Amino acid sequence: MKLATLKNGHRDGQLVIVSRDLQWALDAGSVAYTLQQAIEDWPDAEPRLQALATRLNAGDAPDAFAFDPTQAMAPLPRAYQWCDGSAFLSHGALMQKAFNLDPIEGVEHTPLMYQGAGDDFLGAHDNIALPSESQGIDFEGEFVVLVDDVPLGCNAEQAIGHIKLILQINDVSLRALAPREMKTGFGFLQAKPSSSFAPVAITPDELGDAWRDGRVHLPLQVSWNGEWFGHPHGGQMTFGFGQLIAHAALTRRLGAGTLIGSGTVSNAERSVGSACIAERRAIEMIEHGAPQTAFMRFGDRVHMNVLGADGQSVFGAIEQCVVKAQG
């Protein structure tokens, strides 16, 4: 099942079912008006939403309408909790080597994670409006899971069962602001503006064999200003999503609608490219002694997409332009 949220003038938008080919949509208001409403009552809502999806995919929904991804908000336009991990240790290893950083104790056993802002997510075609190019504007391609209520102390195996939807995001970062915030020990704030989400959230079964071990076993295609940037594979997470959820739930319950991110998709094999500019710059520092790639400028465009085994887009594409914020 595929779900999206369309703009309707309200903060939380209109929940719709989307066909597998991303061509058609069906209003889900008879079950839930918003995705947050649906996830809070998932045992009742899921089979009813699935029945609508079955009708839509069978061509048996006369009230279906053409799906326009440019009108999509983030599938969950705002979340009570957004926690982002760093589950691809190849990314951290590159940063450590490039900047001559001290190793983080226990990083191979305990996931890194910070709590981000979930109040203002962007849609896949919304502009990325930011104050200044000097802040080091970067994109970051990631995978994300949406969970129902997760109990305190939930283990990794149990956590997999709490994953109800999978999403793909551009976790925008401001690299010039990050070093100071990391040194304070309080985590990111200014360095992490609003994240952007691909148009569609999917149930794990939509991935078929590509969903296993709590990982998305598909490459994430990234281009910048129309040029290939990378296609790192999501299956190479050091920590699966079950482990990330268990980490977040060690000392707290996670409310229904909590989002957990994978961190930048990264592979040790450099020929696959990268999913963020910072990683390419780190490779350049290691190989050439200095970065050669600049960060994004106003007017730049970033494109992200995930293709299934059938060559069709799984989540719909992210296609965004960076613009100067109007004061």
When mean pLDDT is compared across 150-154, 156-160, 186-190, 242-246, the lowest value belongs to: 186-190
Query: If you average pLDDT over residues 148-154, what whole number do you get?
Result: 98
Distance of CA 304 to the CA centre of its chain: 11
Confidence check: pLDDT of 174 > 90: yes
How does DSSP assign 174-236, residue by residue?
ETTTHHHHHHHTS--STT----EE-S-EE-GGGGGGGEETTEE-SB-EEEETTEEEE--BGGG
Which pLDDT value is given to residue 107? 80
168: left (phi over 0), alpha (psi -120 to 50) or beta: beta
Determine the Cα–Cα distance for residues 81 and 201; give it in Å rounded to an integer: 17
Distance of CA 82 to the CA centre of its chain: 10
Single-letter amino acid, residue 69: P
- Split at pLDDT 50, 70, 90, the class of 77 is very high
Taking the C-alpha atoms of 18, 19, 25 and 28 in order, what is their torsion angle to the nearest 10 degrees? -50
pTM: 0.96
How does DSSP assign 8-62, residue by residue?
SSSTT-EEEEE-TTSSEEEE-TTT-SSHHHHHHTHHHHHHHHHHHHHHHHTT--T
Strand order in the sheet with 301-305: 128-130, 318-324, 301-305, 221-224, 227-230
Which pLDDT value is given to residue 93? 83
Confidence check: pLDDT of 327 > 80: no
Which pLDDT value is given to residue 263? 96
Tokens, residue 112: 């890194």
Which pLDDT value is given to residue 264? 97
Confidence check: pLDDT of 126 > 90: yes
Which pLDDT value is given to residue 275? 98
User: Is 258:80 a contact under the CB 8 Å cutoff?
Assistant: yes
Single-letter amino acid, residue 128: I
Domain boundaries, the chain: 2-71, 82-324
Query: If you average pLDDT over residues 314-325, what whole number do you get?
Result: 98
Confidence check: pLDDT of 314 > 80: yes
10 Å Cβ neighbour count for 108? 10
How does DSSP assign 93-145, residue by residue?
HHHHHHTTPPPPTTTTTS--EEEE--S--B-TTS-EEES-GGGTEE-BEEEEE
When mean pLDDT is compared across 59-68, 182-191, 238-247, 259-268, the lowest value belongs to: 182-191
Confidence check: pLDDT of 99 > 80: no
Which pLDDT value is given to residue 311? 96
Confidence check: pLDDT of 308 > 80: yes
Superfamily of segment(s) 82-324: Fumarylacetoacetase-like, C-terminal domain (3.90.850.10)
- Split at pLDDT 50, 70, 90, the class of 94 is confident
* Mean pLDDT for all residues in the chain: 95
Quick: pLDDT tens for 205-230.
999 999 999 999 999 999 999 999 99
